[in-house]
Amino acid sequence: MTSETITGITILGATGTIGNNTLDVLSRHPDRYRVIALTANSDVDRLYSLCLEHRPQYAVMADAAAAVRLEQKLGTGADIRVLSGVQGLCEVASLSEVDYVMAAIVGAAGLMPTLEAARSGKRVLLANKEALVMSGSLFMQTVEENNAVLLPIDSEHNAVLQCMPARYSTGTMPAGVRRIMLTASGGPFRNTPTEELARVTPEQACAHPNWVMGRKISVDSATMMNKGLEIIEAGWLFGLPLDKISVILHPQSIIHSMVEYDDGSVLAQMGAPDMRIPIAHALAWPERRVHSGAESLDLLAVQHLDFQEPDVVRFPCLELAREAMRSGGTAPAILNAANEIAVQSFLDGILPFSGIPDLIEEVLNTCPVNQADSLDTILEDDRKARSTAGRYMTNSPSRAVR
């Protein structure tokens, strides 16, 4: 700790949904937490506003030109050091005055600074699932070797953690657990006829029925690739094989996940669909004394909870993720890279919604899988997968939106 009472925090991805929710929770407890560093990709105006409100010691823009603009806007009187690029992100993730790092940068861009936080022995509040998807074994080894504490922020994985045995630590196989059940809302197209999915627009895909999320994550929810990535992440977080991780559709998003024990007991974590709840849990863990600001759950208003099996025909990304997990090595990194290109192409109006799993499958079938035993290998296979996905888009004009 930076003092007896104040905990220093770096927020990687401060301008996104998780970053905003984290700052909201922190603002409710100014006597316990101090924002040391805030980072963003290229949104200068938003990070400038956050700097004025929270007065961090450091501000980082991933984009170098954006960092110059931010520094100019802040001026010399702000007493905030502005950094840029991956080096800047890694620096604020490893500062001695930082105790906790909220890892909320979306996609592969968050891997390096999140790894640096683990390497520096921080409490890592992991909202960036891609870090574990891409480098699971390497990441967990780094956590263990440096006595870092890894706590999941995804509502599903945080729910699983809350249902685990007392004194459980992530990365180890829990005693007495038969399986974990990750719940999924099914997104906006749970009941949409499959023949209509090719005509889905980005605006429709980003209109999640329960959660407020960024555009990329919203599309992942609509394809259920987010749940596929969460299956892979859960395997590393909880030391469980694929056959002990299942997915159940739960449209109300009230039960966030469940853990079944050998004695037949099933523990479920429930709450309103509000990301401030898992954020507050991870900030206070292993205690529960941080108010999140979320509304209390009113079960009388909910009245009923529904469950169903995911439709693998409607959601082929689920099986693609399972296959990548079975393959191991760099296959999950290849899967993630292909998905990021596919989702961005869809958001840019280049690829139809139904073409997202097609592109991912093509890249998985094309790119060779290597052992994920070094960061260089993981990043190289990530690069090759992105290049392959780009060639697929160029050579397959029939996939383009017309």
Tens digits of residue pLDDT in 100-123? 999 999 888 899 999 999 999 999
At which of 118, 152, 186 does a domain end?
A: 152
62 and 204 housed in the same domain: no
What is the number of structural domains in the chain?
Answer: 2
Residue 13 lies in a domain: yes
pLDDT recorded at residue 396: 67
> 282 lies in a domain?
no
Residue at 278 is within a domain: no
Please report the pLDDT score of residue 346 as a whole number.
95
Q: Mean pLDDT, to the nearest integer, of 200-222?
A: 84
Residue 400: pLDDT above 80? no
Report residue 157 as tokens.
Answer: 């994985």
- Judge whether residue 211 has pLDDT over 70: no
Quick one: average pLDDT of 196-211?
84
Please check whether residues 236 and 356 belong to one and the same domain: yes
pLDDT band at residue 198 under the 50/70/90 scheme: confident
Neighbours of 387 (CB within 10 A): 14
pLDDT at res. 1: 45
Domain coverage including residue 80: 7-152
Statement to judge: residues 137 and 193 lie in one domain: no
Q: What is the mean pLDDT of residues 255-283?
A: 97
The enclosing domain of 70 has a CATH number of 3.40.50.720
Q: Which residue has the tokens 């017309």?
A: 402
- Which has the minimum average pLDDT: 105-109, 279-283, 367-371? 105-109
Say if residue 147 is in the same domain as residue 207.
no
Three-state SS string across the chain, please?
A: CCCCCCEEEEEECCCCHHHHHHHHHHHCCCCCEEEEEEEECCCHHHHHHHHHHHCCCEEEECCHHHHHHHHHHHCHHHCCEEEEHHHHHHHHHCCCCCCEEEECCCCHHHHHHHHHHHHCCCEEEECCHHHHHHHHHHHHHHHHHCCCEEEECCHHHHHHHHHCCCCCCCCCCCCCEEEEEEEECCHHHCCCCHHHHHHCCHHHHCCCCCCCCCHHHHHHHHHCHHHHHHHHHHHHHHCCCHHHEEEEECCCCCEEEEEEECCCCEEEEECCCCCHHHHHHHHHCCCCCCCCCCCCCCHHHHCCCCCECCCCCCCHHHHHHHHHHHHCCCHHHHHHHHHHHHHHHHHCCCCCCCHHHHHHHHHHHHCCCCCCCCHHHHHHHHHHHHHHHHHHHHHCHHHCCC
77-91, 160-174, 194-208: which range is least confident on average? 194-208
Q: Tell whether 166 is covered by a domain.
A: no
Asked if residue 36 is part of any domain, the answer here is yes
Parallel/antiparallel/unpaired status of strands 245-249 and 177-184: parallel
User: Encoding tokens for residue 337?
Assistant: 């890279």
Q: Alpha helix locations (H) across 122-192?
A: 129-145, 155-163
361: domain CATH number is 1.10.1740.10
Whole-model pTM: value is 0.91
Residue 35 β-bridge partners: 9
Let me know if residue 164 belongs to a domain. Answer: no
Q: Label residue 343 by pLDDT band (50, 70, 90).
A: very high
- DSSP codes joined into one string, 225-286: HHHHHHHHHHHHHHT--GGGEEEEE-TT--EEEEEEETTS-EEEEE--S-THHHHHHHHHTT
Instruction: Tell me, yes or no, whether 20 lies in a domain.
Output: yes
Is 60:42 a contact under the CB 8 Å cutoff? no
Retrieve residue 255's tokens.
């039960």
* Higher-scoring residue by pLDDT: 2, 269: 269
Residue 388 Cα to chain centre, angstroms = 24
Q: Are residues 107 and 208 in the same domain?
A: no
**Residues 85 and 215 occupy one common structural domain:** no
